[in-house]
Homo-oligomer: A and B are copies of this chain.
Amino acid sequence: MLNMIETKIPFNKPYFTGKETDYIKDAVSRGKISGNGHYTQLCHDFFEKKYGFKKVLLTSSCTDALEMAAILIDIQPGDEVIVPSYTFVSTANAFVLRGAKIVFADSRVDHPGIDEDKIEGLISSKTKAIVPVHYAGVACDMDKVMDLADKYNLFVVEDAAQAIDSFYIGNDGVKRPLGSIGHLSAFSFHETKNIISGEGGMLVVNDERFVKRAEVIWEKGTNRSAFFKGEVDKYGWVDIGSSFLPSDITAAFLWAQLEHLDDIQSNRKQIWETYYSGLKIWAAKNSIRLPFIPDFSTNNAHMFYLVCKNEYQRDFLLKKFNESGIFAVFHYLSLHKSTYFDNKYIGKSLERSDFYSETLIRVPFYINLPVENVISNIVTLDIN
């Protein structure tokens, strides 16, 4: 093999700007490393200013942000929530924890994201919310989703776990940040995301009606935020809630990353473009599809994936990659076919979701990846 990779290429390498631990030390010296401290506030301000989010609350995970959303829209047992089947378990689990019945939607033909044209057929009198997932940071067609929400009086919770710094271009030509369109949105800062804090996430509240209650639910169901603003003279238990807020250690780590957001994004976009141009001919020759970005979406270079022609080719390719030291991975398994949902799913077959479950491969993607090296290795693999 001509371009044997000397050192193995992991799937992910967490990026470290170098300032994270300085800020953590600073948080300690400020005397506060629990939640809602100095660095938490810096992160909140950053996101609210940069993306025009009405209200931001850092959370311990994107899962936590989705759980906050489920509480805020007051999910009750029996309420239905429409979720793509091709997504991470938390997209559904957060609503199941509040008693929701999950109604699964299929993926698009051209992209693993939810097929917006299939949503209306799934709406019933019990539907309370739609949860579009911006897979790979690629926007769902939010005009279609929001029109349905308006028509049927539903809430929209954007699962923007992978979608930081990505945008939707609406029918009106306006470019809006993902996460700013639905009533509520959830982001992830898990170590595999563009901006990281190991585990971590954030809730975005775009609908003013939810702002005050979000602060309460975030602080274990207490009115502690109001207390510190001087609005009440003691704080106590006023609502359900959890300890959704991360430590200021986590926020300090995140803040160091946010300072480098533009550099990180530019490095990732270059890697993405190099992957795309370098693999184009090879992919076409082998009937492998590269990522599709619709006209209504920007690309935040969250991941690079391949869609194989079938499961056999996918498994063979994964084996070849891993043998050559390139740690590629498959992604989601259709949730409607999960062990948990097995006996409960009574809907239509969701063939595209199953197709992506069987054929999609994520290739290594991280800051300073030796992408040329990876590409030259991939294109010389004997996969036929």
B200 in contact with A247 (CB, 8 Å): yes
Q: If A198-B250, A243-B63 touch, does A90 touch B220 (CB 8 Å cutoff)? A: yes
B339 in contact with A236 (CB, 8 Å): yes
| Alpha-carbon distance between A223 and B89 when the two chains are bound, in angstroms | 11
B249 in contact with A93 (CB, 8 Å): no
Q: Which residue of chain B has its CB nearest to the CB of A35?
A: B199
List of B residues within 8 angstroms of A250 by Cβ: 198-199, 247, 249-250
Interface assignment of A13: CB less than 8 Å from any CB of chain B: yes
A63 in contact with B13 (CB, 8 Å): no
A89 is contacted by which of B33, B64, B97, B220 (Cβ under 8 Å)? B220
Q: Which residue of chain B has its CB nearest to the CB of A234?
A: B333
B196 in contact with A33 (CB, 8 Å): yes
In terms of DSSP, what is the predominant structure of the interface of chain A? loop
A93 in contact with B24 (CB, 8 Å): no
List of B residues within 8 angstroms of A24 by Cβ: 20-21, 24, 253
Q: Which residue of chain B has its CB nearest to the CB of A18?
A: B25
| Alpha-carbon distance between A200 and B63 when the two chains are bound, in angstroms | 17
| Count of chain A residues with a beta carbon within 8 Å of a chain B beta carbon | 64
List of B residues within 8 angstroms of A199 by Cβ: 34-35, 60, 243, 245-247, 250
A340 is contacted by which of B35, B238, B249 (Cβ under 8 Å)? B238
List of B residues within 8 angstroms of A338 by Cβ: 236-238
List of B residues within 8 angstroms of A94 by Cβ: 242
B340 in contact with A221 (CB, 8 Å): yes
List of B residues within 8 angstroms of A89 by Cβ: 220-222, 236-237, 241
Interface assignment of A114: CB less than 8 Å from any CB of chain B: no
A92 in contact with B237 (CB, 8 Å): yes
Interface assignment of A191: CB less than 8 Å from any CB of chain B: yes
Interface assignment of A291: CB less than 8 Å from any CB of chain B: no
Determine how many copies of this chain the complex contains.
Answer: 2
Q: Which residue of chain B has its CB nearest to the CB of A61?
A: B243
A12 in contact with B28 (CB, 8 Å): no
List of B residues within 8 angstroms of A340 by Cβ: 221, 236-240
Interface assignment of A16: CB less than 8 Å from any CB of chain B: yes
List of B residues within 8 angstroms of A339 by Cβ: 223, 236-238
Q: If A97-B242, A246-B60 touch, does A237 touch B35 (CB 8 Å cutoff)? A: no
Residues 10-48 of A contacting B (Cβ, < 8 Å)? 10, 12-14, 16, 20-21, 24-25, 27-28, 31-35
List of B residues within 8 angstroms of A93 by Cβ: 220-221, 237, 240-242
| Alpha-carbon distance between A198 and B246 when the two chains are bound, in angstroms | 8
Interface assignment of A81: CB less than 8 Å from any CB of chain B: no
List of B residues within 8 angstroms of A223 by Cβ: 339
List of B residues within 8 angstroms of A190 by Cβ: 34
Residues 218-242 of A contacting B (Cβ, < 8 Å)? 220-223, 234, 236-242
B16 in contact with A28 (CB, 8 Å): yes
Interface assignment of A354: CB less than 8 Å from any CB of chain B: no
Interface assignment of A359: CB less than 8 Å from any CB of chain B: no
Interface assignment of A248: CB less than 8 Å from any CB of chain B: yes
B33 in contact with A220 (CB, 8 Å): no
A237 in contact with B335 (CB, 8 Å): yes
Q: Which residue of chain B has its CB nearest to the CB of A200?
A: B247
List of B residues within 8 angstroms of A184 by Cβ: none
Can you give 15 A-B contacts (C-beta < 8 A)? A13-B31, A24-B24, A60-B60, A60-B243, A61-B243, A89-B222, A90-B242, A93-B240, A97-B240, A200-B247, A221-B340, A236-B339, A236-B340, A247-B250, A249-B253
Given A16-B25, A35-B199, 9 more A-B residue pairs with CB atoms under 8 Å apart are: A14-B31, A34-B192, A61-B242, A63-B242, A89-B221, A89-B222, A93-B240, A236-B340, A238-B338
